[in-house]
């Protein structure tokens, strides 16, 4: 009886993050704060543009609006706390705070996985089935796809988090990461975690590889269709509508696959926070940049909004 009472004594965790870079805390704070503010502003701008501009009402942009809202949530789960740690030097997080952070990180990440697959289906329908497009992606279908993505996020968050935090943590309580990510938290569990690791690898395989498979399938069909277009200009136009999404998918899935589909033993505290930094902090800021720079309709909408809000001086 006493043994089991003693096994989960850890009530808070210590997030090491970038504490080993003692001289750079101020610089890191400035860099991450700038990235965070730009991420929120850029993604918020896309949400506003799609919500207010009549030209951006196709399914592609409604999905993009959801993606931008997700990115704001996704980056807000980790960065403000990281900024607080860099500023104050206090790196503690309570056990419940850690569980909450893990839940929301998984929730937003999994939702994004599924939403990117819905966006690939949208591009497939637009390029390969243009005549049936309004039918294949009616308003109802779009809502169902977006809703399914959110539901998937909830399932993944609830599937992992309570399960992991019901395990015994009897110390040490130092997490080699700047937020409560699954792998480093699992390393602190007392006893055998091979079952959890298997569960995570299976769930991740299902969650990351299924949407990824759908994306690859969609793009396979898209490429075949594009190569059949007789004119070079037509091919270029068709491809340019996909390129933004392809870049976002490659960045997001590349880093996620690297982090999650591998055993605990290969976890490296030195490089992994950098990889996590890439998909938790850097990817969300690239999203609005990629979509706005590579997309003429978004650029036009931005121009219209600026002209409406800023009266032109003659």
Condensed to tens digits (0 to 9), the pLDDT of residues 87-99 reads 998 899 999 999 9
Q: According to the model, what pLDDT value does residue 1 have?
A: 39
- For the chain, the average pLDDT equals 85
Query: Residue with structure tokens 């982090």?
Result: 259
For residue 312 the two structure tokens come to 């032109």
Are residues 226 and 127 in contact, defined by beta-carbon separation less than 8 angstroms? yes
| Beta strands, E only, 166-255 | 174-175
Helices 139-165 and 59-88: crossing angle in degrees, nearest 10, is: 30
Question: 53-89: per-residue pLDDT in tens?
Answer: 888 888 988 999 999 999 999 999 999 999 999 999 8
- Does pLDDT of 187 surpass 80? yes
Tell me what pLDDT residue 285 has.
86
Query: How confident is the model at residue 106, as a pLDDT?
Result: 92
Tokens 């104050």 sit on residue: 88
Confidence class of residue 143 from pLDDT cuts 50, 70 and 90?
very high
Average pLDDT over residues 283-295: 78
User: What pLDDT sits at residue 2?
Assistant: 39
More confident residue, 167 or 70: 70
User: What pTM does this model have?
Assistant: 0.87
109/119 Cα distance (integer angstroms): 15
Q: Could you tell me the pLDDT band of residue 108, with boundaries at 50, 70 and 90?
A: very high
Question: Does 314 score more than 60 pLDDT?
Answer: no
Q: What share of the chain is helix, strand, coil (3-state, %, to 5)?
A: 75, 5, 20
In the chain, pLDDT over 70 holds for what percent of residues? 91
pLDDT at 262: 64
Is the pLDDT score of 118 beyond 60? yes
Quickly state the pLDDT bin for 4 (edges 50, 70, 90).
Answer: very low
Q: Which residue has the higher pLDDT, 260 or 178?
A: 178
Domains and CATH numbers, the chain: 12-304 (1.20.1070.10)
Greater pLDDT, 292 or 198: 198
Average pLDDT over residues 25-52: 93
pLDDT at position 293 is 67
Going by C-beta distance under 8 Å and a sequence separation of 6 or more, which residues neighbour residue 170? Answer: 6, 7, 8, 9, 10, 190
More confident call, 265 vs 245: 245
The pLDDT, as a whole number, for residue 186 is: 85
Identify any residues that bridge with 93 across adjacent strands, giving them in sequence order.
Answer: 13
From 121-135, 180-194, 196-210, the region with the lowest mean pLDDT = 196-210
The DSSP letter of residue 14 is E
Torsion of CA 68, 32, 113, 218, to 10 degrees: 70
The pLDDT score that the predictor gives to residue 261 is 66
């Amino acid at each position: 009886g006493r043994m089991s009472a003693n096994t989960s004594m850890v009530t808070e965790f210590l997030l090491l993050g970038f504490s080993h870079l003692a001289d750079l805390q101020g610089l890191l704070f400035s860099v991450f704060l700038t990235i965070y503010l730009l991420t929120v502003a850029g993604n918020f701008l896309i949400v506003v543009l799609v919500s207010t501009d009549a030209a951006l009402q196709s399914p592609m942009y409604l999905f993009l609006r959801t993606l931008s809202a997700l990115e704001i949530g996704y980056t807000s789960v980790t960065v403000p706390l990281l900024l607080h740690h860099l500023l104050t030097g206090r790196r503690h997080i309570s056990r419940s705070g850690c569980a909450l952070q893990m839940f929301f990180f998984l929730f937003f990440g999994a939702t994004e996985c599924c939403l990117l697959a819905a966006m690939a289906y949208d591009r497939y329908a637009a390029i390969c089935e243009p005549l049936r497009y309004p039918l294949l992606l009616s308003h109802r279908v779009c809502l169902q796809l977006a809703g399914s993505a959110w539901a998937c996020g909830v399932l993944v968050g609830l599937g992992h988090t309570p399960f992991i935090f019901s395990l015994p943590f009897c110390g040490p309580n130092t997490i080699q990461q700047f937020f409560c990510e699954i792998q480093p938290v699992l390393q602190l569990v007392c006893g055998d975690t091979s079952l959890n690791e298997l569960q995570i690898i299976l769930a991740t395989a299902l969650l990351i590889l299924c949407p990824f498979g759908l994306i690859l399938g969609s793009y396979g069909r898209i490429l075949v269709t594009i190569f059949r277009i007789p004119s070079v200009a037509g091919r270029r136009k068709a491809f340019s509508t996909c390129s933004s999404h392809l870049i976002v998918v490659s960045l997001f899935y590349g880093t996620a696959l690297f982090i999650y589909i591998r055993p605990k033993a290969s976890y490296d505290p030195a490089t992994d926070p950098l990889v996590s930094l890439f998909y938790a902090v850097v990817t969300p800021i690239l999203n609005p940049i990629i979509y706005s720079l590579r997309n003429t309709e978004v650029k036009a909408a931005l121009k219209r909004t600026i002209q409406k809000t800023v009266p032109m001086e003659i």
